[in-house]
Amino acid sequence: MNKNENHQIIHQSYEDISLQIHTRDEHTISRKQISDNALKVLYRLNGAGYDAYLVGGGVRDLLLKQQPKDFDIATNATPEQIKKLFRNCRLIGRRFRLAHIMFGRDIIEVATFRGHHQEAEKNISQQSKDGMLLRDNVYGSIDEDAERRDFTINAMYYNISDYAVHDYAGGVEDLEERLIRLIGDPETRYREDPVRMLRAIRFAAKLDFDIEEETGEPIEHLAPLLVDIPAARLYEESLKLLQAGHGLETYHLLREYNLFQQLFPVIAPYFTSEYDSHTEQMLDLVLDATDIRIDEGKRVNPAFMFAALLWYPMMGLTKQLMDSVGLSDYDAMMEASNIIIEQQIKSTAIPRRHTATIREIWQLQFRLPRRTGKRAYRLMELNKFRAGFDFLEMRAQIEGKEIEELAKWWGTFQTAGRNMRQAMVNDLGGAGSGSKSNYRRKRPAKSKAAKGNK
């Protein structure tokens, strides 16, 4: 398909878009619900003669009577014009230039209306041969901007000049029907930016909406397009998907549409039709636990989640290395850790600070069974001990038996008094915690020359 044909398809698919204006008395949004900093930006832009709208998720959430996470603004002012208006502004982005207005830690994002990238006279964009947008600094009108937005429920604009909501794609109706619907031809829009497939899943899980049939139909066979998305971007998307409070539901939707398999290709071989492999049980456990922590307002560590997700694939490779190469269990685990993490970061670029923690959590699983002498006391002093223990407890729910007993021992040891701790260590005796879970590292045999020098 050439550019002109692609351009034609997009505009044909926009023919049914028509503006509906909901006046102040026809919607429930109040300025009292909008942050003071967002209002300052809106009013200053409007006072300088520019159009200024609250847009996207902020409008959507306010109409759903939810508190928006962010207040994003769209305007006909260019990034350079915005910067002149605000001393506390910085311009960011290469794929599409944005203005960030800084109010301490609060950042209000302001975007210039986007235009159609196929129009030659405006073209400051670049597409791949498959239709993916690589660069997109094309400015246009609010109508074009609405057509360029991904979902109908994100194409609503709150106008600060008259407090009306401008709905360009039937977003208000889709909110009422609880539908996630793409604007334009779904396959074309997914090819422009394959991450839109992930966004469809994320919004469906977050809002408890259904994905409209035509919007969902192409996803499964277009899912492999994600391989062309930079791994750093997919890492950020994976956190939005799995660590935003709806991770368990999101994971099941991602699997249904063949998307999770693209994000975590090293995990996919461990999937079963019954959803009952150790890997799948761990996915359910860790994502459910993450959702609960977020709901309780507790912090979550991406490294812990990734350590849990990748544990059984790593252990599967460990066993292969032990059987095929003859490595000790510990050495095989170290080698398998490097291989699994290296493979995973090709898809989602987990930062080094997290991969280091992942390795520490995994190594602790091999060290926690070794509790004799002073080892138990020393292990408790380690920085990542708590994370290692929490993960051990998760494994116990899946593996039972020895791991369950080991987790109970450590749970008691942490809360026991000094005398009881010593008694618990003494009770282990010289045999440690059993040969199967002692994970001793094999030492190389001494050479004949070394023996002769004794």
State the pTM of this model: 0.83
325 band by pLDDT with thresholds 50, 70 and 90: confident
Q: Angle 255-261-265 (CA atoms, 0-180°, nearest 5)?
A: 155
7 band by pLDDT with thresholds 50, 70 and 90: very low
Q: Report the side by side order of strands in the sheet with 89-92.
A: 20-22, 165-167, 156-159, 52-55, 72-75, 106-112, 98-103, 89-92
Helix (H) or strand (E) holding 279: helix 278-295
Between 437 and 323, the more confident residue is 323
Q: What is the pLDDT of residue 15?
A: 52
- pLDDT tens digit sequence for 402-432: 999 999 999 999 999 999 999 999 998 754 4
Q: What is the pLDDT of residue 319?
A: 95
Q: What is the pLDDT of residue 334?
A: 95
Q: What is the pLDDT of residue 138?
A: 81
Average pLDDT over residues 65-91: 95
Cα–Cα distance, 304 to 390 (Å, whole number):
9
The candidate with the shortest Cα–Cα distance to 215, out of 177, 245, 247, is 177
CB atoms within 10 A of CB 239: 14
Q: What is the pLDDT of residue 221?
A: 96
Asked if residues 372 and 430 have their Cβ atoms less than 8 Å apart, the reply is: yes
297 band by pLDDT with thresholds 50, 70 and 90: very high
Two tokens, residue 192: 């422009």
Mean pLDDT over all residues of the chain?
A: 88
Average pLDDT over residues 34-54: 97
3-class secondary-structure state, position 127: strand
Average pLDDT over residues 187-212: 96
Residue 51: phi, psi to the nearest 5? -75, 140
Q: What is the pLDDT of residue 278?
A: 97
Q: What percent of the chain stands above pLDDT 90?
A: 81
- pLDDT tens digit sequence for 137-149: 688 999 999 988 9
Q: Which residues are catalytic?
A: 70, 72, 150
Residue 71, pLDDT > 90, answer yes
13 band by pLDDT with thresholds 50, 70 and 90: very low
Maximal C-alpha separation, the chain: 96
327 band by pLDDT with thresholds 50, 70 and 90: confident
3-class secondary-structure state, position 438: coil
- pLDDT tens digit sequence for 355-380: 999 999 999 999 999 999 999 999 99
Residue 128, pLDDT > 60, answer no
